[in-house]
Structure 1
Amino acid sequence: MTSTVVWGTGNIGRLAIRAVRAEPALKLSGVLVHDPAKVGRDAGELAGLDAELGVAATDDSKAVLNAAPRAVVYAASGDIRPEEALDDICRAIRAGAVVVTPALYPLYDPRGAAPEFRDPVLAAVAEGGGSLFVSGVDPGWANDILPLFVSGLGGVIDVIRCQEIFDYSTYDQEDSVRNLIGMGMPLDYGAPMLWPEMPTMIWGSQVRLIARALGVELDAIRETMDRRALDTDVRTDTMGDFAAGTQGAVRFEVQGIVGGEPRIVVEHVTRVHPSCAPDWPRPPDGVGAHRVIVEGDPRIEVTVEASDRTGNRAAGGNATAVGRLVNAITWLVDAEPGLYDALDVPLRPAVGRLGRRPT
C-alpha cells in the first residue's frame, strides 16, 4: 500500500482523507494541519467520519516529510499564498513524494506556466525524484478530459464550451461567496475573483491545455464579465440575508480565440438565488451542474451532476475533483518522476472499490 499524507483539513482536505481511506491501494500515514486546535485530533474526526482512523494530526511538516511518505495530497489553499504553497509542494517533491493538488492554478498547463512556477518544481523533481500533478476543484476534469473526450465523438466542431452553473446559496463558505466572489456586495465592489485577468489566471491554463490537445494555436485569451443585482431581499439557509440591489449573480467566460472567434470557452454562471438573472443558463434541477457543449455537427451536450451523501451538490462536485487527484496517485507512483498534466494522467477505473465500503 502507498503511504499517503493529506496536507490540510479544510473543505478539500476533509474530502481527501475520505478519498484516501476509500482507495484500497493507499494507506493514510499522516495528516498535516496549520490550526493548533487541530493538532493531536484523529483524522477521522477532522474528516467528519464516524470512525477514528488512528492517525493523529500534526503541524510538524518537517517530521512528516522526513518519514518519506510516497504520496502527498496537498489540500492547503494556494489562493492567497501561492508562494508558500509552491514552497511546501517542492519540499514534498524533494522528499521523494508524488504530490497531487489543486493549489497551483498556473500548473494546470505546465508547458505554458511561467518559469517562476515551473522551474522550482522541475528542480525539486530532479533533486528528490518526486512528481506533481495539478488539477482544479471546479472540477478540473470538467474543463479538460471531459470536453476532450466528448470532442472525439463529434465530426465538425465549431466551439467547445465548458460550463459550471451553480446556486451559491447551497454553499457553506460565506467568506468566499461574499468577499471573494462579491455576492451580497455592491456591484462596484472589487471582488478578487472577478478582477480583470483573474479568471484567465485561474482558468486560462485549462483553455491552453484543450487547445494543445486539439492541435490548434490560440490567437489570444479573452474574458467577458457580467454581474446582476438582486431585485428583492433574499435569505439563504447557509449564509443569511442578501439585500436587494447587491450582486446576486455573476457570469464570466474565459475564451480561447482561434481564427478571430471564441472556439474554446470556460464559462461560470453563479447565483445566490434562482430569481436572479433568469435568462442565463440554468442547471437541470436549479442547484448545480457541470456541462460540456460541443457546437458543431452533431451538436453534443453532456451534463454531470454530483452530490455528497447529504445531497449537497457543491460538496459533491468538490468530491469528484478530489477523487480525480487521489485516484491519480497509483499511476504517478508507477510513472517516472516528473511534472504531469491532465493529458498525461489517465482517468482510471475504480479498481477494487465496486460495492466496497471502507471500514
Structure 2
Amino acid sequence: MERTTLPSGNISDIDSDGRRTYRVVQWATGNIGTRALRAVIDHPALTLAGLYVHSDTKSGRDAGELCGRDPVGVKATRDIDEIVDLGADCVLYMSLRFDVDDVCRILASGTNIVTTRGEFHHPAGMDPAVRDAVETACAIGGTSVHSTGSSPGFITEAFPLTLASIQRRLDHLAIDEYADLSQRDSPGILFEIMGFGTTPVDFDENRISHVQANFGPSLRHLADSLGLPLDSVEATGELATARNTVEIAAGTIGAGTVAAQRITVSGIRNGRELMRFRPTWYCTTDLDADWDLHRTGWHVYIDGDAPLDIEMRFPFPMEQMSEMSPNYTANRAVNAVPAVIASAPGIRTTFDLPQIIPSLG
C-alpha cells in the first residue's frame, strides 16, 4: 500500500485500487459498539487500529473474540494513553457516558470522532463551555467530531433533508417511530430507566425531559438547516398499561402496569407545531389504549407544496429484532467515518457533511 498524509497529520494508506483506507478505533463494546466493531473489521476501507473497553474482564482480549469474529490481533485496552498514542484517523465513540475531557484529548491529538451520542447534533444549543473546549481541541488537532445514528440522526436529519429537497414550502413534518421492545433483553433499561412494569402514575417528567434532550437538538438542527429556526421545543408524554400479564425477554410486565409509552417532541415556530418527533415504545400490543402498534419502524409525513406520506417498516420477524435493530445505528456511524475525516475541523453536523455513501465493495 502507498501512504499519504491527512490534514490532521496522521498517515493513511492507499490500497491497490487507489482507495484510501483509514485506521479506526472502536470505543466501547455495548450493544451498538459491538456491531460497529464487526463493521469496522469487515469494512474494505477501514482498518481496526485499537479497541477501548470499560471492564477489566474485556481488557486484554482480542477484538475479534469480543464481537464474534476470528482473532484480528488487536487487544482491547482500558488505557486512554494507549488509544491516543495510536495516532488513528478516527475513534468511533460509543461510550455510555459522555466525558468531555476524553473527547477533547482525542480530538487535540489529531484523531477525529464519530459518535452515536447526542451531544453534537445542534452546536448552537450546547453548553458554551463544552462547545468552546471541543472546538478548541478540534482546532489544535485539525480534527472534527460528528454525532449520528439512526434515531436521532438518519430519521430526524438526513432523511428529512432529502425529502425537503423537493419542497418549496413546508407546513408540517411529522416523524413517528414505533419500536416493539418485547425481544430486547435489557431489564435495566426497560424496567429501571424507562419505567416499564411499574404502576401507572403521572408520567415521569425526568423521562420526558430525557427524550426531549435527546431529540430536541436534532429537530432544531433540521429546522435551522431549512431556514426555519424554531422558537421552542416542547414535549409531552402518554402511558398505556397491559391488559394481561405478559412475559418479555427482559422479564415480566404485570397486568395493569406500564407496557407502552409515547412521547411527543414538538418544534414550535410562530405559535404552532412546525415539526415533531414522536416515538412509541411498547412491550405488548395487548393494551388498555387504542394505539395502532402493529408495526416496527418509521412513518414520515410532510405537508407542504409537495406532500409525502412514507412508511418504513423493519421487514424481519420479531425473533430477529435484537440481532438486527442495532445495525441501523451502528452502520450509519461507521459509514460516516471517511466524510468526517475529510471535513473541515470543528463540530460537524449532518447539514455540514456531504451525503453519507457507504463503501460496500
TM-score range, shorter chain: 0.7 to 0.9
Partner of 2:10: none
In 1, the alpha carbon distance for the partners of 2:106 and 2:213 equals 25
Cα distance in 2 for partners of 1:177, 1:13 equals: 19
Give me the whole-angstrom Cα distance separating, in 2, the residues matched to 1:173 and 1:287. Answer: 21
Give me the TM-score of the superposition, normalised by structure 2: 0.87
Where in structure 2 are the equivalents of 1:330-349 lying within 5 Å?
330-349=338-357
* Gap change, CA 1:9 and 1:308, over 3 Å in 2: farther
- Among 79, 93, 104, which residue is 2:107 paired with? 93
Alignment partner of 1:177: what SS?
helix
What is the alpha-carbon distance in structure 2 between the residues aligned to residue 303 and residue 117 of structure 1?
Answer: 38
Residues 168 and 272 of structure 1 are in contact (CA less than 8 Å); yes or no, is this contact kept in structure 2? Answer: yes
| Cα 1:10–1:111 shift into 2, 3 Å | same
The answer on whether the counterparts of 2:152 and 2:214 sit within 8 Å (CA) in structure 1 is no
Question: 2: CA distance between counterparts of 1:109 and 1:161?
Answer: 19
- The answer to whether the Cα contact below 8 Å between 2:25 and 2:92 also exists between their aligned partners in 1 is yes
Structure 2 residue aligned with 1:357: none
Q: Deviations over 1:289-323 (max 9, x none)?
A: 02221134543122334479996335534312222
How far did residue 222 of structure 1 move?
Answer: 1.1
CA distance in 2, matches of 1:95, 1:190: 44
Alpha carbons of structure 1 residues 147 and 188: separation in structure 2 relative to 1, 3 Å: same
* 8 Å CA contact 2:173, 2:275 repeated in 1: yes
Taking the TM superposition and a 5 Å limit, the aligned residue runs for 1:182-331 are 182-188=195-201, 194-195=207-208, 197-236=209-248, 238-276=249-287, 279-282=290-293, 286=294, 288-306=296-314, 312-313=320-321, 315-331=323-339
Q: Output one character per residue of 1:190-232: Cα deviation in whole Å (capped at 9) or x when no partner.
A: 758614x322211110110111111113222111111112121
SS state at 2:119 partner = helix
1:62 aligned partner, one-letter code: D
- Residues 44-100 of structure 1: CA deviation (Å, up to 9, x unaligned): 121123x2222111111112211211110011112xxx3xx2222111101111101
Contact 2:203 2:237 in 1 (8 A): no
Residue number in structure 2 paired with 1:6: 26
| Counterpart pick for 2:48 among 5, 15, 28 | 28
Q: Percent identity?
A: 28
Opposite residue 288 of structure 1, the aligned amino acid is T
Alpha-carbon distance between aligned partners in 2 of 1:310 and 1:178, rounded to the nearest angstrom:
20
The amino acid across from 1:46 in the alignment is L
Tell me the distance in 1 between the aligned counterparts of 2:24 and 2:115. Answer: 13
Deviation at 1:15, TM superposition (A): 1.0
CA gap 1:307/1:96 in 2 versus in 1, 3 angstroms: farther
Task: With the length of structure 1 as denominator, give the TM-score of the two structures.
Answer: 0.88
Equivalent residue in structure 2 for 1:106, among 116, 119, 123 = 119
Structural RMSD (CA): 2.3
| Residues 247-270 of structure 1, C-alpha deviations (whole Å, 9 max, x = no match) | 111011110011211111011101
Match of 2:5 in 1: none
1:271 Cα deviation from its structure 2 partner: 0.8
Q: Residues 119 and 147 of structure 2 are in contact (CA less than 8 Å); yes or no, is this contact kept in structure 1?
A: no
Asked if 2 retains the 8 angstrom alpha-carbon contact of 1:160 and 1:264, the reply is yes
Gaps of 5+ in 2: 1-20
Match of 2:179 in 1: 166
Paired with 1:18 and 1:311, the residues of 2 have a C-alpha distance of 21
Once the two structures are superposed, residues 96-131 of structure 1 have per-residue CA deviations (whole angstroms, 9 ceiling, x without a partner) of 11101122x231111222213311111111222221
SS in 2 for 1:166: strand
Distance in 2, matches of 1:310 and 1:21, equals 27
Q: Offset of 1:29 from its aligned partner?
A: 0.9
Residue pair 2:203, 2:238 contacting (<8 A) in 1 also:
no
Quote the Cα distance in structure 1 between the aligned partners of 2:243 and 2:63.
44
The structure-2 alpha-carbon separation of the partners of 1:38 and 1:106, relative to structure 1 and needing over 3 Å to count, comes to: closer
More displaced 10-residue stretch of structure 1: 37-46 or 342-351: 342-351
Say which of 163, 167, 170 aligns to 1:157.
Answer: 170
Query: Unaligned stretches of 5+ in structure 1?
Result: 355-359
Aligned equivalents of 2:303, 2:251: Cα separation in 1 = 39
Q: 1:140 corresponds to which letter in structure 2?
A: G
Which residue of the other structure, out of 95, 112, 121, is the alignment partner of 1:76? 95
Partners of 1:281 and 1:150 lie apart in 2 by: 25
* 1:170 aligned counterpart, secondary structure: coil
Amino acid at match of 1:37: T
Specify the code of the residue in structure 2 equivalent to 1:20.
Answer: V
- Give, in angstroms, the shift of residue 23 of structure 1: 2.3
Which among 187, 194, 200 is matched to residue 181 of structure 1? Answer: 194
CA–CA distance in 1 between the matches of 2:292 and 2:101?
40
SS at match of 1:116: helix
Q: Equivalents in 2 of 1:57, 1:287: separation in Å?
A: 38
1:130 to 118, 133, 143: 143
Aligned residue for 2:298, secondary structure, equals: strand
- The residue aligned with 1:148 is 161
